[in-house]
Copies of this chain bind each other. A is one copy, B any other.
């Protein structure tokens, strides 16, 4: 691990996290979010950013690169839980636990900021609206997990893969607008299997069949969706749309109020 106390150039604009997707923020709130980032670090591909079992569990902010969170079982098998892209908060689920539940692994070279928990606590005091947005953001993640659970329980390999690609495409579009039908996917087929509850062999067979039927094209670490609408039809989960600036949210606070 390579540590540096200065943020990497150009990453600054990313700090407002996913939360900006839920509401418009005041400049003060933006500044408070930026204040969350504590120590900056970079990790090489395949490096472990945070190991499950670690205590106390820390909180991380992904600035550049891809990462993944996973759980490992006693028999050595593992489940990949979520792919993290720049702007993602990582490790939050373990915050209430005494030991971290998930391992965070760098899929590419990444740069990461450690989030100060004291600063997070202060945000709930100084910026109730941000606190509520953090709460809502966690609920959004719950919906995602619920949908993934539904997929694992009720969809076969073909449908799960279709859903994953459509979902990833939509998620990446939010980050990189103007993206076409193609995107990077720095995952091996074994990792795809661990993500979808399949074996690498079966992932290969299914990918190959989707390719043969013209749904998509594959290269190393790169996917191009050819028949987007058909693929989306395969991805049979209900659509989700977030509602911005909910009326019951607390108002933005100007700056530091009564202390």
Chain A residues close to B by CB (< 8 Å): 22, 52-53, 56, 71-75, 77-79, 81, 92-99, 101-102, 117-118, 120-122, 124-125, 128-129, 131-132, 134-143, 145-150, 152-154, 194, 196-197, 236-238, 240-243, 246, 248-250, 257-258
Contact = CB atoms under 8 A, between A and B. Distances in A.
A98 B138 CA distance: 16
Given A131-B128, A142-B145, A154 B77 contact: yes
A150 B71 contact: yes
A115 to B, nearest CB: 11
| Copies of chain A in the complex | 2
A145 B79 CA distance: 12
Contact of A146 (B78, B96, B120, B145): B145
Contacts of A122: 250
A101 B145 CA distance: 12
Given A94-B139, A124-B128, 8 more contacts: A72-B238, A73-B150, A96-B139, A101-B238, A138-B138, A149-B152, A153-B194, A257-B258
Contacts of A77: 154
Contacts of A94: 139, 143
A197 B73 contact: no
11 contacts: A73-B237, A79-B153, A93-B142, A98-B241, A99-B241, A122-B250, A124-B132, A124-B135, A131-B131, A145-B145, A258-B258
A242 B135 contact: no
Nearest to A250: B125
Of residues A99, A137, A150, A236, which shows the largest number of chain B Cβ atoms within 10 Å of its Cβ? A150
B250 A101 contact: no
A93 B128 contact: no
Given A131-B124, A135-B135, A146 B71 contact: yes
Nearest to A196: B153
